[in-house]
Structure 1
Amino acid sequence: MLPAPSLDIRQRDSQELFLALPIHYNEPFTIWYLHSIARRPVEEKLHLAPQGALVVDATIWDMNGTGLPYGPDPGMKFELKDGKYILTNMNRVFPEVVMAIGWVAEHRLIYQGRSLPLARLAPPGTAIRLQVGRHPRWVLAYNHLRWLLLSQKPAPAQKGVE
């Protein structure tokens, strides 16, 4: 079988694969977290690009504060809607996103109405890489079942989001 695209979540150093979520190119997903300083929810909207990169399309947050975005760069669109700040047209391209699963950030992957706390994949403090992968369809079928078992539907209302 031909390999298909996935969002791979791996341990940063060992490259151990925690999850290979089958996601089509250009299909949106969200990384949700509580900001470390403001302790307010932030949503990063991303998609997989066919050239093997992750693209940040938008950021949504509900208050201004240290470390939170404060306005658009050239070409971006900024709006205030329903009490939320929305920054779109970001088009920030990354070969991978490296992050640590937060102790208080409660990082979640949200995709197709389901929410997965990343701490279900590895303990808080674990450094991970999010990157585009390609795997045989049987590997993705297995990982899709893991996704269904580990994630929640519907995506629960997140703290601080009214």
Structure 2
Amino acid sequence: MKNKKPGKKLLFLVPLIILTIAIIIFIPMKEALVFQYQNTGNVLAYIPFSAEDHFKIKYTHSIHLSDVVESYVITEDDEIKQYELMYEDFAIGMPENASDGEIFEQKNGKYYIKNMNRVFPYFDLRTGKVRANHTIIYRKKEYPLSDYIEPGTWVRIKTEKVNLLQQLRGVNILEQS
């Protein structure tokens, strides 16, 4: 009878297991809308997402104290496109009309700029400390950012694939509500 040494199989299996674990932990696999701490890449929170998903950001305007809602869609190129803006008051910081190719409407005491085509690889937001109450609206449900991110924090909002480690460190907004 041949006497096989288990050590050779083990020498092959251990690196294979370590490599598999590393791939599972560090290779980005899940598409998400991420909220990163400043521009560091550290994921504070995320929403599992896919191309052509829509979301909105609602906040209270600091001067008018009325709601503003910005509507976005994720493009096929994983960029963020603003396609609509809704607000209640003209004045400081709000547009008075639509730009070229956009449509301005007034309906039920609110102003809309539609057909917007403003595309960003990412955008930065400082979450409101006092009254802004930044809220993500996703699939008709509202998620106040202050529940997941400390008010006053500068976040970078972008789409990217997140790895398992980032998922474990960040907060899945959809699972927390």
Which TM class, normalised by the smaller chain length? 0.7 to 0.9
SS in 2 for 1:19: strand
Aligned to 1:73: 99
Larger mean CA deviation between 118-127 and 40-49 belongs to 118-127
Q: Structure 2 regions of 5+ residues with no counterpart?
A: 1-23
Whether contact under 8 Å (1:60, 1:85) holds in the other structure is: yes
Whether contact under 8 Å (1:4, 1:134) holds in the other structure is: yes
TM-score by length of 2: 0.75
TM-score by length of 1: 0.82
CA distance in 2, matches of 1:149, 1:21: 9
Give the counterpart of 1:111 among 138, 149, 153: 138
Give how far 1:4 is off. Answer: 4.0
CA distance in 2, matches of 1:24, 1:149: 17
Which is greater in Rg?
A: 2
How high is the sequence identity, in percent, across the aligned residues?
Answer: 26
CA distance in 2, matches of 1:49, 1:140: 23
CA distance in 2, matches of 1:126, 1:135: 21
CA distance in 1, matches of 2:172, 2:137: 14
Give how far 1:42 is off. Answer: 0.2
CA distance in 1, matches of 2:41, 2:162: 15
Pick closer, same or farther for the CA change 1:46–1:70 going to 2, 3 Å: same
SS in 2 for 1:91: strand
Give how far 1:94 is off. Answer: 0.8
What is the RMSD of the two structures over their aligned residues, measured on CA atoms? 2.4
Q: How does 1:61-100 map to 2 (within 5 A)?
A: 61-100=87-126
CA distance in 2, matches of 1:33, 1:58: 14
Aligned to 1:135: 162
Paired residues, what number?
150
Q: How does 1:140-159 map to 2 (within 5 A)?
A: 146-151=172-177
Q: Structure 1 regions of 5+ residues with no counterpart?
A: 152-162
